[in-house]
Chains A and B, each alone.
Chain A
Amino acid sequence: MIDADLSRMLVIRAFERTLLDLYGRGLLNGTTHTCLGQEYVPVAMEGLLDPADHVFSNHRGHGHYLARFDDPEGLLAEIMGREGAVCAGVGGSQHIRRDRYLSTGVQGESLPVAAGVALHLKRVEPGRLACAYIGDGTFGEGAVYEALNLAALWSLPLLVVVENNGIAQSTPTGEHLAGTIAGRAAAFGLPHELVEGADVDDIRTRLAPLVSGVREGRPAVVEFVTHRLGPHSKGDDTRPAHALGVDWRDKYASPLLDRLEAAAVARIEAVAADVIARPLSRWEA
């Protein structure tokens, strides 16, 4: 793996840890959903995406945003409602729009929208795709199936990336999902790729042909078997510590990682100090 990828993953992790710390100190409003443990997924995916592709994110979207835009300042300002916020502090953690990136907070809602953008791309910008991140829990929503059906029927350049972290808030996948995600993709005649490791280079090599196919109008589902190391939102983790799963960080443990991590932590600490000192954001409805 190249240092830049590892460094990006560590910046996301430092960002998320800082958020939980700020919450603990009562400095943040509302709630947030961190992607601790899942940082490598968007970092791997961004290596396969073009800035002109559209990315649709969800409630757990900080990693998606930071993998696309190296902008922890703008994101933290958004979450804290401070000057320089990406969306003036209106959207907060879950509702961010910038360039061709958009997140929204209702499960599955983005899939039909992403299909609409893919329909536009197919006609106006062939070769571009819409990539939508969802979780395993989102497969309970009917919108997912309506969108998969349309995407398959209309050969839309839609890439659905499933971050299957084995749990939907507090409900294990086995208790909310009948059958499998692969089976559901197969039901619509869509290719499905299961990704189990966290090796960014390996992931990209494996997925590159699939992503090329999406660009040519063969929609696909990629399922990452991943692990959410933190709580669903703030302090709501009911799992025993041994059930959290494997951390990619252990696999990359090395002096290099320690150096990069120290730099990432120092950077995010500086970002937090800077953002906290900023005036409140302003917005005209």
Chain B
Amino acid sequence: MRVAENLNAALHELMAAEDDLYLLGEDVADPYGGAFKITRGLSTRFPGRVLSTPISENAITGVAAGLALAGDAAIVEIMFGDFAALAFDQLLNFAAKSVSMYGSRVPMRMVVRCPVGGGRGYGPTHSQSLQKHFVGIPDLALYEVSPFHDNLAVFTEMLERARPCVLFEDKVLYTRPMHAVPEPFSLAIENGVARIFLDERPDCVVVAPGGSAPMVLAAMRSLLLEEEIACTLLVPSRLYPFDVELPDTRRVFVVEESTAGGTWGAEVAHLIHQRHWGRLAGPVTLVHSADSVIPTAAHLEESVLVSERAVHRVIMETLRG
């Protein structure tokens, strides 16, 4: 099953199981089924609860918050995650704050889905990875789709948190298969974190969210075959608040597609430094895209975005000194 099909199946199951759950977004209704076809079939099966909306990211996020306030649950699809900037006020100043600013806990069951990332030539306003812009907002949790986490479980967890969540979906994952791990690596899921590992003790640990995971895996494979460097990859489902049990290691890397400056990886590194500084051989190494807009032309886009080659090079250079 591909990631897009897994997402679609998860939404079908959720809508069938919870009759107070709404899904809102631009062009989500059939026969179109959303720009990336993630909502295909839902409006036909659940009329009245799956609503195609005007081009109004701010309003539909606010509507979701209103539904959540009234006791319902809502999932919003932002067509391209970049446009979540238009919904920022509703997320930062209303939905997240409402959880606690009225003095007692207000449950807010809502998820804002954001297709993100480059590699497809959509250009500067349709290719960003916006995760870092939402890090550190009280009561707002950030998740990212990965090929190793079943989306029904992820959605269920997000709605059960009863706090607003943003789910980032790297567009390049949609057509990739679920649960595929290259030989000779193995996969295990522990406390919501996918661990992809070899039998031997790793030379380093790489933390990367779902969208970057396939690229990191490819680099890990070439590092193993060409350099005999053994890496363990950790893929968290929840990016913020972040918590991960680090395997025994002296070298840690964080890989993400966000552009340089105030990255999610910096937050992860800070947490790892606080907790594990004594046993590390050096600071956590951050690998990310350049400090740049995301260009449209393929060769320019490639020069900005983090790549398998860069991951391979940085890990090799760091470990080999």
A interface, CB within 8 angstroms of B: 54, 85-91, 95-97, 102, 104, 106, 109, 111-121, 123-124, 130, 142-143, 146-147, 149-150, 153-154, 283, 285
Contacts and interface: CB of A to CB of B under 8 A. Distances in A.
Given A112-B90, A113-B94, 10 more contacts: A86-B103, A102-B69, A109-B90, A109-B93, A112-B66, A115-B66, A116-B69, A120-B72, A149-B59, A153-B54
Interface string B63-86: 111111111101000000000000
Given A109-B90, A150-B56, A115 B103 contact: no
B285 interface: no
A74 B301 CA distance: 57
Contacts, number: 115
B62 interface: yes
B103 A106 contact: no
Contacts of A118: 66
B103 A113 contact: no
Contact of A117 (B56, B66, B103, B106): B66
A146 B56 contact: yes
A94 to B, nearest CB: 10
B54 A150 contact: yes
Nearest to A125: B70
Nearest to A103: B102
B191 interface: no
Contacts of A85: 103
Given A102-B69, A104-B94, A109-B94, A116 B62 contact: yes
29 contacts: A87-B102, A87-B104, A89-B103, A90-B100, A90-B101, A90-B102, A97-B103, A102-B102, A106-B89, A106-B93, A109-B62, A109-B89, A112-B60, A112-B61, A112-B63, A112-B66, A113-B94, A115-B62, A116-B62, A117-B67, A124-B70, A130-B66, A142-B58, A146-B56, A146-B62, A149-B54, A149-B59, A150-B59, A150-B63
B175 interface: no
Given A120-B67, A123-B48, A112 B62 contact: yes
Interface residues of B, number: 34
Given A146-B56, A153-B54, A113 B101 contact: no
A136 B72 CA distance: 31
Contact of B103 (A87, A111, A146): A87
B53 interface: yes
Interface centre among A115, A117, A118, A119 (most CB of B within 10 A): A119
A114 B66 contact: yes
A154 B61 CA distance: 16
A118 B63 CA distance: 9
B103 A88 contact: yes
Contact of B102 (A54, A96, A109, A116): A96
Interface in B204-237: none
B153 to A, nearest CB: 27
A113 B66 contact: yes
A97 B101 CA distance: 9
B101 A121 contact: no
B79 to A, nearest CB: 15
Nearest to B61: A112
A95 B99 CA distance: 12
B139 to A, nearest CB: 10
B56 A113 contact: no
Contacts of A115: 59, 62-63, 66
